[in-house]
Amino acid sequence: PNPITAAPAMAVPSKLLKPVSLTKVASRYLIHQDSLPKLPVPELRQTCQRYLAVLEPLVSDEELEHTRTLVADFMVPGGVGERLQKGLERRARKMDNWLSDWWLQSAYLEFRMPVVVYSSPGVVLPRAEFQDRQGQMRYAAKLIAGVLDFKTKIDNGTLPVEYMVGKPLCMNQYYQILSSCRIPGPKRDMVVNHSLGKAPPTHVTVVHNYQFFVLDVYNSDGTPLTVDQIYMQLEKIWNSSLQTNKEPIGILTSQHRNTWGKAYANLIKDKTNKESVRAIQKSIFIVCLDAPMPRASDEMYRSRVAVQMLHGGGSRWNSGNRWFDKTLQFIIGEDGSCGLIYEHAPAEGPPIMSLVDHVVEYTKKSEMVRSPMIPLPMPQKLRFNITPETKKDIEKAKQNMNILVQDLEMKVIVFSHFGKNVPKSYKMSPDAFIQIALQLAYFRMYHVCCSTYESASLRMFRLGRTDTIRSTSMDSLRFAQAMDDPTKTKVALLQKAVNAHRVYTDMAIRGQAIDRHLLGLKLQAIEDLTSMPEIFMDTSYAVALHYSLSTSQVSAKTDCVMCYGPVVPDGYGVCYNSMQEHINFSVSAFNSCAETNAAKLARGLEEALLDMRALLEQTPKAKL
Ligand SMILES: *[C@@H]1O[C@H](CO)[C@@H](O)[C@H](O)[C@H]1NC(C)=O
Ligand SMILES: *[C@@H]1O[C@H](CO)[C@@H](O)[C@H](O)[C@H]1NC(C)=O
Ligand SMILES: *[C@@H]1O[C@H](CO)[C@@H](O)[C@H](O)[C@H]1NC(C)=O
Ligand SMILES: *[C@@H]1O[C@H](CO)[C@@H](O)[C@H](O)[C@H]1NC(C)=O
């Protein structure tokens, strides 16, 4: 039984135990969490051997030889590797998850580049069927109601546990995505979440024309407002923010984190500003009602919406209509463009996507029952006092944002020839098939392969986040080399390459991949104040971590696509959602890099997928 609903609150001596309110995380969730296995620490020898195998397609023979000797030194019995490994194993015994806090700090909170483009993913939803601002606000009202409906499940612990390959998954990330916010610091950031606090928030933030409003979405009895009520409140907000604010205060959040950390300290010296910022941070999520963006041809439209979600288009458009530190911001344009952007520190894509699936289904429901309208107070507008110094910070942020906007090339493509169906009909993993196609596309452009990152979920383990699937292998390289060589037989190489990817994926989701383990050993060395082992200062290690292809499969029932920027100056960000009969994907690159071209790689990926299908079709089934 659910202890929360089962326990009669009146029977509880109030001094000893507080009655548990429904807004508290149900203990049912905690029982589930406790039943999950802990993330293992892989064996040292296994990781070292796999590391060398991973390097083989990426570095020269001489470099590999050099690294071999460093690895052998590292692994020597009684040596530094074993000592660090023991430290890691101790850490793993003591903690719920030896990795998660280190990962949160090193991958996110100590990462100093702007969260915009460099960290926060955007999600493009299918174009909504409205054409005017009434439609926009009605859609926004339904969307808010849909998120609140999902929130009820989180709050009352009735969110169904998810499974992957038959194993239950950690659900913790669901408890981190609402009512949370990143806060900048001069050297590192932090994340606060208010969902578990004594007084959980009851408002969302709405931003329109760069002006921020507190919209209370619950009645005093704890029931959520109806769609009609939310709509009326949104209209009031709209009517009182017809003029664009002169100072797009939100654009400050797009800065380099150290710069923003300093500007933030200044900004909140003022009491009014501090209260306004706190109201945004504490809100359940943000809804951005965007001004129309520049028109685009049908072909360009998807890519245009992708950048609207990812960075807002620059200071002239909607980049100031955001608070990029906020974990969840839904974005709704007047022309039916909609989607969201999320700050990456608290969660990965999958929980966000399952929230999106729920909300999109909810918005499709026909009109709700109309409720008698009780007049509600005007939503409070958040005030900011702008000092000359903050004004300077805003100007600088605008300039930098515009440079970044100019620099980002984003291509969103619908590959309509096939989806999961084709690889499945050949008993191949659709994800492995797409990853190998990407390897082929890259190889055709550059005649070499590169270090490739694909995120793998570690949620089979308590508080698990991700590890790296390294899609580049000797098998993927041999296939890519053979594909355009008429003297080679290719189909067996394709099968081997796809299989190698599947095997690596399997190993990664079981906590046996190499990247987080190597990071752990490195961080353990830092914590132990031992000198840095040479394998971490080696060129090969730098090559291995230079991800020219940063990729992710983010699946959703909704026909949407996620997008993000490259993680290295001369690389690509590639994200895809493979549906049954088509694949939507996004490819990004930086214009300032002469060697990269997102449009070209996107075309190359389409060709590679088609060529791989043709190869399979030409081969008699008996030979497959
Ligand atoms: C939890 O929320 C759902 C709505 O999403 C509702 O159907 C269910 O009755 C609630 N359960 C409890 C125990 O409050
Ligand atoms: C939420 O944030 C607080 C800090 O405000 C932190 O102590 C707590 O661990 C977080 N909750 C969860 C479930 O991570
Ligand atoms: C907003 O303004 C429009 C146009 O002036 C008006 O028709 C509408 O009633 C106003 N809505 C609210 C909620 O004040
Ligand atoms: C994904 O592709 C489908 C099929 O062409 C299309 O209808 C849908 O709008 C696409 N989604 C996005 C977000 O572009």
Q: Which of 2-11, 209-218, 419-428, 485-494 has the lowest mean pLDDT?
A: 2-11
Ligand 4, closest atom to CA 414? 2
Note the pLDDT tens digit of each residue in 70-116.
Answer: 999 999 999 999 999 999 999 999 999 999 999 999 999 999 999 99
Q: Which ligand number lies closest to the CA of residue 558?
A: 4
Q: Is 220 in the pocket of ligand 3 (CB under 6 A)?
A: no
397 C-alpha to center of ligand 1: Å?
Answer: 44
Whole-angstrom distance, CA of residue 167 vs CA of residue 50: 25
Half-sphere exposure of 383 (CA within 13 A, CB side): 4
Please list, residue by residue across 509-541, b when 16 or more beta carbons sit within 10 angstroms of its beta carbon and e when fewer do: bbbbbbbbbbbbbbbbbeeeeeeebbbbebebb
Residues 132-180 pLDDT 10s: 889 999 999 999 999 999 999 888 878 888 988 889 999 999 999 999 9
Task: Indicate if the alpha-carbon torsion angle 47, 49, 53, 58 is positive or negative.
Answer: positive
Is 236 near ligand 3, meaning CB less than 6 Å away?
A: yes
Count of beta carbons in the 10 Å neighbourhood of residue 322? 25
CA of 59 to the centre of ligand 4 (A): 39
The answer, yes or no, to whether residue 10 has pLDDT greater than 60, is: no
Nearest in space to 615 (alpha carbons), one of 499, 480, 503, 449: 480
Mean pLDDT score, 411-427: 97
Read off the amino acid at residue 149.
D
Residues 6+ apart with CB under 8 A from 9: 19, 20
Evaluate: CB of 50 within 6 angstroms of ligand 4.
Answer: no
Ligand nearest to the CA of 413: 4
pLDDT on residue 4: 29
Hey, what are 370's tokens? 């109309």
- Write out the DSSP string of 7-62: S-GGGS-TTTSPPPPTTSPPHHHHHHHHHSPPPPPPPHHHHHHHHHHHHTTTS-HH
Write down the pLDDT at residue 375: 86
Q: Within 10 Å of residue 1's Cβ, how many Cβ atoms?
A: 7
Name the residue of 235, 241, 373 whose CB sits within 8 Å of the most ligand 3 atoms, as the mutation to test its pocket: 235
CA-based nearest residue to 309, from 512, 121, 147, 34: 121
Q: What tokens does 551 get?
A: 């990729």
pLDDT for residue 481 is more than 60 = yes
> Checking phi first, is residue 345 left (phi over 0); if not, alpha (psi -120 to 50) or beta?
alpha
Q: Which ligand is nearest to the CA of 241?
A: 3
Give the pair of three-digit tokens for residue 38.
């802990």
The residue behind tokens 């009969």 is 581
Q: 232: CA distance to ligand 3 center in Å?
A: 9
pLDDT recorded at residue 370: 65
CB 409 within 8 A of CB 588: yes
Q: Which atom of ligand 1 is nearest to the CA of 149?
A: 5
pLDDT tens-digit series, residues 297-323: 888 999 999 999 999 999 999 999 999
Task: Map out the domains of the chain with their CATH numbers.
Answer: 125-408 (3.30.559.70), 416-512+546-623 (3.30.559.10)
Pull the structure tokens for residue 347.
């969660």
The pLDDT of residue 279 is above 50: yes
User: Is residue 130 very low, low, confident or very high in pLDDT (cuts 50, 70, 90)?
Assistant: confident
Which residue's CA lies nearest to atom 1 of ligand 3?
Answer: 239
pLDDT reported for residue 488: 86
- Probe ligand 3: pick from 239, 242, 243, max atoms within 8 Å of CB? 239
pLDDT band (50, 70, 90) for residue 394: very high
Given pLDDT bands bounded at 50, 70 and 90, which one contains residue 372? low
Flag whether 254 is marked binding: no
Q: For residue range 515-532, list pLDDT tens digits in order.
A: 999 999 999 999 998 899
- pLDDT score for 20: 33
pLDDT surpassing 50 at residue 11: no
The model carries a pTM of 0.92
More confidently predicted of 354 and 24: 354
Q: Which two tokens stand for residue 346?
A: 């608290």
Q: Is 75 annotated as a binding residue?
A: no
Task: Give the CA-trace dihedral at 614, 620, 621, 623, to 10 degrees.
Answer: -110
